[in-house]
Structure 1
Amino acid sequence: MTNDVHPIRSAWFNCHAGVAGDMTLAALVDAGADTDMVANTIAGLGVDGYAMFFERVQRSGVSATWANIVTHDGLHDHDPGETGGHGLHRPAREIFALLDAAELPDRVRDRARTVFERLAAVEGAIHGIDPADVELHEVGALDSIIDVVGVCAALESLDIDQIYCSSIGLGSGIVNTAHGQLPHPAPATMALLTEAGAPTHGLDTTLETATPTGAALMTTLASSFGPMPGGTSHAVGYGAGTADPPGRANIVQVVITVGAGWAD
């Protein structure tokens, strides 16, 4: 063991307007993640039937990046504010096999697998079945697999060691899922947030501001929730959701900070 000091790079996600997988990915790209590295890492999954574009947009006057992911099922189906059907689903064991066989950097694979393991455990408890047998509908769709692996790749591109998250904004009402209309926030989203003890706050909207993919990413990868940690701000990024509601910027903000830490 050495006692060499090295800079610890952290990412703090400001999710006061909610969080979704594509918004998280877009925020990291906006903060400087290499899009070629992200695309090449996703290509390591060995799947096809998708296209990914990063576009500049405005959300309530804030310039942000939008991750436009198109699959054979249609446009990205996990953005807050979107309704209707979801893409094809996959059993959890199929996703684990896909990740295990993929050509991915070790930390990308480990982080992505842990996200899906957490989701499968929560869904298994909700439905009363073995986590490996869970059919992940919304989060098992191709676009959400791309979201999760893309986020983990973007974190690797930015060399992020620690991840933190703010309180997460939640809407209310009804959400359309593969199981039909369910209370919003969706059961999987609330189970993830509750199990992690994540702080939340209500938003005056019926839009699905926090998706299962976004909740799984934050509750799995974040080491703690609360205010921005100390350190020197190195970069900031804004990831846009598809919906553009009046009076509220539908964005996830990420702040990359650098601070001193101890190497193992």
Structure 2
Amino acid sequence: MSKILYLECYSGISGDMTVGALLDLGADRDVLEKALRSLQVGGYSLHFGRTKKCGIDAYDFDVSLEEEEEHGEHGEHQHHEHLHHHGHHSHTHRNIEDIHHIIDRMDAGNKVKVLSKKIFNIVAEAESAAHGIPVEEVHFHEVGAIDSIVDILSTAICIDNLGIDQVIVSTLWEGQGFVTCQHGIIPVPTPAAAHIISKHALKLKQTENQGEMVTPTGAAIAAALNSGKSLPSEYCIKKIGIGAGKKDFPHANILRAMIIETARPNKEWKDTDAQSDEMWKLETNMDDCSGEAMGFTLECLLSAGAADAWYTPAYMKKNRPAYTLQVLCREEQIEEMQDLIFSHTTTVGIRRTKFQRTVLKREIKQVSTPYGEVSVKVCRHREQVYLYPEYEDIKKICLSQNKEYKTVYQEIIEYCKLHGNL
């Protein structure tokens, strides 16, 4: 089962809030600090602690800069404009290629490096759009970029350390008004954050709070991690982590991160029970799609976890011969299944219907037979036990011993009944 992370951004999102929430979820601090030391980048220190927001205990992660007086009070809640043009300052600047070099020398796995670069590229593209310059001319101030480097890399390190497979991001709640940056007073959301939200189709909700709640780094993290999937209608919360923001609002300024599992609201198995649950059927008609494309689509759908998928012949308008594709899946799989159908076929519309189904209790058992080990599906209903030897195993026996399929199939069933202890 995949490990799903849900980021609840009802107080916005920033880099330090994200890292704090992931550390609170159980990401290994020692692994994080070791990887950051390998960057060979100085000028900062890390703070790991706890604080309270509206009485809620939260993890307080902070990057303290040695020259933060040059940029004002530290913290992502205060907008830092890290981008500069050539020649505006005497300080050293780093462009996106320099950032990539820093990431490449980090003592971490390839997944961490790829995700770190993805997040930083999103930031650089947003700054490029906001300032009207090519991406390669985007430069990050030597000191001002450090907190972004640490926050972004720390996020990637923690995501990898927690073994997260999929991330669902809620609507981003944002404040209103203006914030002060190095070049003047700019609107909320800031131009860079607004560009990220627009380009990556993140959902935004404006609140009555005055000030910035979604930072460019936070927006980039959300964009890079977001799977595009919606929160399941029902789920189980396995673990909760809370990262503290640096501002105080009427509501708790926190980022809540939750490891969740899709809830299966089915009753527990009993030896004599069949199981009832809900499935969705996706359906579409196609009269202009090649057989190769349809066959490939079916393979993709089944590989992606569809409960079943099949074609049936149909006649459409003007008596044109066609095929109807039908797919059975769970609610949380609908979006993925639709994406596959739209990507690989010529259809322009998909119908969906919710169904109730009854499924017999089943398990796969390995049975030692005179033909060798065979996988057998064992299904139960009331007092009855039904045995179904797996096709591939029977096929292998038939080919190797020149036997008839139906003969081997029946022999395996009879042997299981006598000696299988099922």
Q: TM-score, normalised by structure 1?
A: 0.87
Report if the CA contact (8 A) 1:139-1:145 is conserved.
no
d(CA) in 2 for partners of 1:228, 1:217: 22
Q: Who is 1:72 aligned against?
A: 66
Tell me the residue number matched to 1:126.
Answer: 130
Where does residue 8 of structure 1 map in the other structure? 2
Of stretches 127-136 and 148-157 in structure 1, the one that deviates more from structure 2 is: 127-136
Pairwise CA distance, 1:55:
1.1
Within a 5 Å distance, the mapping from 1:6-45 to structure 2 comes to 7-45=1-39
Kindly provide the amino acid, as one letter, of the partner of residue 209 in structure 1. M
Matched, 1:256 2:259: yes
Give the Cα separation in 2 of the matches to 1:29 and 1:257. 16
Q: CA deviation at 1:199?
A: 0.8
Counterpart code for 2:76: D
**For the pair shown, which has the larger CA radius of gyration, 1 or 2?**
2
Post-superposition Cα deviations, 1:179-209, rounded to whole Å, max 9, x if no partner, equal 3221111000000001111111111112211
SS in 2 for 1:46: coil
1:47 alignment partner in structure 2 = 41
CA 109–136 in structure 1, closer or farther in 2 if over 3 Å, else same:
same
Q: Distance in 1 between matches of 2:229 and 2:203?
A: 7
* Partner residue of 1:181 out of 185, 196, 220: 185
**Corresponding residue of 2:109:** 105
| Aligned-pair CA distance for 1:102 | 2.5
Work out the number of aligned pairs and report it: 255
Q: Which amino acid aligns with 1:257?
A: I
Q: In 2, Cα distance between the equivalents of 1:195 and 1:63? A: 34
Q: Which residue matches 1:163?
A: 167
SS at match of 2:27: coil
What is the distance in 1 between the residues matched to 2:194 and 2:222? 13
- 1:137 Cα offset (Å): 5.4
Letter in 2 for 1:95: I
Kept in 2: contact 1:52–1:68 (CA 8 A)? yes
Residues of 1 paired with 2:230 and 2:123: CA distance? 22
* Distance in 1 between residues matched to 2:141 and 2:259, nearest whole Å: 32
Q: Distance in 2 between matches of 1:232 and 1:45?
A: 38
What SS does the corresponding residue of 2:205 show, helix, strand or coil?
strand
Deviations 1:44-68 (A, max 9, x none): 2121222112111110111100102
> What is the CA distance between 1:136 and its match in structure 2?
3.5
- Cα deviation 1:164-192 (Å, max 9, x = unaligned): 10000111111122332211110000000
Taking only the aligned residue pairs, the percentage that are identical comes to: 31
Q: Distance in 1 between matches of 2:104 and 2:233?
A: 33
How far is 1:84 from its partner? 7.6
Amino acid aligned to 2:241: G
User: What amino acid is the match of 1:102?
Assistant: M
Quote the residue 2:207 is aligned against.
203
Instruction: Tell me if the contact between 2:35 and 2:106 (Cα under 8 Å) persists in the aligned partners.
Output: no
1:18-56 alpha-carbon deviations (Å, 9 max, x no partner)? 110000000011111111111111122121222112111
Structure 1 residues 219-234: aligned runs within 5 Å: 219-224=223-228, 226-227=230-231, 231-234=235-238
**Unmatched runs of 5 consecutive residues or more in structure 2:** 84-90, 264-302, 306-422
Deviates more, 1:185-194 or 1:171-180: 171-180
Change (3 A) 1:140 1:161: farther
Once the two structures are TM-superposed, the CA of residue 141 in structure 1 deviates from its matched residue by 1.4
2: CA distance, partners of 1:45 / 1:73: 19
1:194 to 190, 193, 198: 198
The answer as to whether partners of 1:77 and 1:143 remain within 8 angstroms in 2 is no
Residue in structure 2 matched with residue 214 of structure 1 by the alignment: 218
Equivalent of 2:57, from 56, 63, 83? 63
Amino acid paired to 1:127: H
My pick for the range that moved more, 175-184 or 148-157, is 175-184
Structure 1: gaps spanning 5 or more residues: 1-6
Q: Look up the SS of the partner of 2:196 in the other structure.
A: helix
Q: Is the CA contact (8 Å cut-off) linking 1:12 and 1:229 kept in structure 2?
A: no
2-structure distance, mates of 1:215, 1:156: 19
CA contact (8 A) 1:51 1:69 kept: yes
The answer as to whether partners of 1:20 and 1:78 remain within 8 angstroms in 2 is no
Find the counterpart in structure 1 of residue 325 from structure 2: none
Does the 8 A contact of 1:38 with 1:154 survive in 2? yes
Structure 1's 40 and 128: CA in aligned 2 closer, same or farther, altered over 3 A?
Answer: same
Give the 3-state SS of the residue equivalent to 1:237 in structure 2. Answer: strand
